[in-house]
Homo-oligomer: A and B are copies of this chain.
Amino acid sequence: MDASSSPRNIPKRLLMGPGPSEVDARVYRAMTQPLVGYLDPALLEIMDQIQARLRATFRTRNRITLPLSGTGGAGMEAALVNFIEPGDAVAVIVGGLFASRMCEIVERCGGKLSRIEHPPEKTADLDQVRRVLLGQKLQVLAVVHSETSTGVCQPLEPLRELAQETGALFVVDAVSSLAGLPLEVDAWGVDICYSGSQKCIGCPPGLAPITLGDRAAEVLLRRQKPVSSWYLDLNLIAKYWDTERSYHHTPPISMFYALDEALRLVLEEGLEATWERHRQCHLALVQGMETMGLTMFVEDPAARAWTVNTIRVPHGVDDARIRNHLLERFGIEIGSGIGAMRGRIWRVGLLGRTANPELVLLLLQALESALDENGFSCPRGAAVAAAEKVFQTVNP
């Protein structure tokens, strides 16, 4: 380590992994606006604007809608520890790593856990979930909307009905779905929903947007014991975001500037147009992958998240060699499998600004060349042509 060495040159990557995603130059510029104090009128105005923009993005009128001063994992922890007291019954639907993490957090805060597992390449079996929950009185039913470790998108509305029958608060992880996949917090009756700034919102990592409905806010007020985490205590945090403005901690102000600008970009395009762009890029990518002879990990097209696309590593192909080839030769990052999926799948994130037709075609071209050089041959140029055709069809 040399204190006086000149600034390091960070390579420019195309971020096509499961996050962080590509960030617009306007967001970077916004991030370097001069810092002000945590009660500066200029900051409070931006905070109000962020709240309004987050409400529009979550499709909610929830008063408590704000970004937590941590990454997506902080959002998950806050969405659970604030609403679970020791001994509370909690059910988590588990098809991948992030849902497993929810279970770990539930156990750490003393919840009585029902873990409802389903195969990682499928959505949950509603009949099975119903059987497990039958007659239970639950505090929380938690589910991951788009499981970033598997690429499965879980339909939320049927689960919300089951949550209602058990009296549970319905907690939804929208880390890789918010602003990429249709999500209607109010219309779908989601009580608590959280996300991360670095996925479809297109902001650098560091903030976790969260929204709470009235039922959740009431549970928070009526807790017997204080929340085990002071840093993520939503009762305290909400008071800084509300008219009280009472100090809790000095927030990551530069990140607020970036988030505000990233949300502005999402809403300028329009939320539904943004969803549609993610859908088109996903369809074109799948078409290209299948034309190349690759197989999607999630068989049922209706169960695929448009945002995190999972592809089986073909038999005989070295997972890491292909990823390194893409990174070193083309500067493209894609994700490896994680947890139980390690070595079995690749994860291509088409999140936020990365959900862009040009990037989809670039990746297909680069992957074709990487596979070809590593002994897996596919018809030259066919994948790109197939993907282009999808773009022409869906958006003529």
Closest to A263 in B: B3
Partner of A74, one of B15, B70, B81, B254: B70
Q: How far is the CA of A45 from the CA of B333 in the complex (A)?
A: 17
Q: A17 — which chain B residues lie within 8 A by C-beta?
A: 37
Rounded to whole Å, the gap between the CB of A270 and the closest CB of chain B is: 8
Stretch of A150-158, A224-232, A371-379 that contacts chain B: A224-232
Tell me the chain A residues, 226-259 only, with Cβ under 8 Å from chain B. 226-232, 247-255, 257-258
Contact of B77 with A230 in the complex, beta carbons under 8 Å: yes
Q: A28 — which chain B residues lie within 8 A by C-beta?
A: 32
Stretch of A185-193, A198-206, A211-219, A280-288 that contacts chain B: A198-206
Contact bitstring A14-34, B, C-beta under 8 A = 1, else 0: 010101100100101111111
Contact of A1 with B52 in the complex, beta carbons under 8 Å: yes
> For the complex, is A131 an interface residue (Cβ under 8 Å from B)?
no
Tell me the count of chain A residues lying within 8 A, CB to CB, of chain B: 83
Q: A11 — which chain B residues lie within 8 A by C-beta?
A: 34, 36, 40, 42
Chain A interface residues (CB < 8 Å from chain B): 1, 3-5, 7-8, 10-13, 15, 17, 19-20, 23, 26, 28-38, 40, 42, 45-46, 48-49, 52-53, 56, 69-74, 76-77, 81, 101, 104-105, 107-109, 196, 198, 204-206, 226-232, 247-255, 257-258, 260-261, 264, 267-268, 327, 333, 335, 338
Between A and B, 9 residue pairs with Cβ closer than 8 Å are: A13-B34, A35-B204, A69-B206, A71-B249, A71-B250, A77-B230, A108-B230, A205-B254, A228-B228
